[in-house]
Chain A
Amino acid sequence: GAVVSQHPSRVICKSGTSVKIECRSLDFQATTMFWYRQFPKQSLMLMATSNEGSKATYEQGVEKDKFLINHASLTLSTLTVTSAHPEDSSFYICSASLQVEQYFGPGTRLTVT
């Protein structure tokens, strides 16, 4: 139980384009999902908290117009990186909360060329 999927697992895009990443809780409903990014050899940095049916709450320093989050249902949240640039290249990971535990997706490696 408590499985979270992410799609795609890996994406390469050109600078200036937008990329959408999906996060699904497969066997439970999650009222809250979280989006993190992780640079090599560093820990997870929370980007935003996503609640179903309401606007996401962004952490300080995260541009909400650049990282668009939609949480349309209890099992799906999406992160869209708009007008991506090489500095947005990173490992993006979502999680979904079940009571207080968080269960993570396998991550999406984004490379912007």
Chain B
Amino acid sequence: SQKIEQNSEALNIQEGKTATLTCNYTNYSPAYLQWYRQDPGRGPVFLLLIRENEKEKRKERLKVTFDTTLKQSLFHITASQPADSATYLCALDPRNQGGKLIFGQGTELSVKP
């Protein structure tokens, strides 16, 4: 069956450390994968998109990798800050389905000062 999975356990880290979040999928061949941030009671905010032919993408303190062999994407936040505390969602396109996205369940990140 098709699945997209993120760490269900909340991730607690110390300010200044690097947070690494994982997204694994099975039985999909996405052309791209997207990462979003969601705060409680708010809609998701787009962060980064990485395509199947890209290994890595960076934006300021954020880095995303995409390994289509392992069927995995890693999302890194370097020099983390308490303001980075939120739920992070990965989403992939199931390809040729009108641009719709399938979301993982999200990983809650808590950065302690």
Bound together: yes
Bound complex: CA A104 to CA B106 (Å): 16
Are A46's CB and B43's CB within 8 A? no
Shortest Cβ distance from A88 into chain B, in angstroms?
A: 18
Q: Which of these, A2, A43, A100, A106, contacts B106 with CB under 8 Å? A: A43
A46 to chain B: which residues have CB within 8 Å?
100-102
A28 within 8 Å of B (CB atoms): no
Q: Do A101 and B34 form a contact, CB below 8 Å, given A43-B89, A43-B104, A43-B105? A: yes
Q: How far is the CA of A57 from the CA of B98 in the complex (A)?
A: 10
CB within 8 Å of B: which A10-49 residues = 32, 34, 42-44, 46, 49
Q: Within the assembled complex, what's the spacing in Å between the Cα atoms of A100 and B100? A: 9
Q: Given A43-B105, A49-B98 in contact, is the A101-B49 Cβ separation under 8 Å?
A: yes
Question: Is the CB–CB distance between B100 and A44 below 8 Å?
Answer: no
Chain A nearest CB, measured from B10 CB (Å): 11
Q: Does B79 belong to the interface (CB within 8 Å)? A: no
Within 8 A of B (CB), among A55-86: 57
Q: Which residue of B lies closest to A31 (CB)?
A: B99
Q: Is the interface of A mostly helix, strand, loop or mixed?
A: strand
Complex CA–CA separation, A61 to B93 (angstroms):
20
Residue of A nearest to B104 (CB): A43
A106 in contact with B98 given A42-B105, A43-B103, A43-B104 (CB within 8 Å): no
Give chain B nearest CB distance to A107 CB in angstroms.
5
Q: A100-B49, A102-B101, A104-B44 are in contact. Are A44 and B34 (CB under 8 A)?
A: no
CB pairs A–B below 8 angstroms (21 shown): A2-B46, A4-B43, A32-B98, A34-B101, A42-B105, A43-B89, A43-B104, A43-B105, A44-B44, A100-B32, A100-B93, A100-B99, A101-B34, A102-B46, A102-B99, A103-B46, A104-B36, A104-B45, A105-B43, A107-B43, A109-B41
- Seen from chain B, the residues whose Cβ lies within 8 Å of a Cβ on chain A are 32, 34, 36, 41-46, 49, 89, 91, 93, 98-106
**Chain A positions near chain B (C-beta within 8 angstroms):** 2, 4, 6, 32, 34, 42-44, 46, 49, 51, 57, 91, 93, 95, 97, 100-107, 109
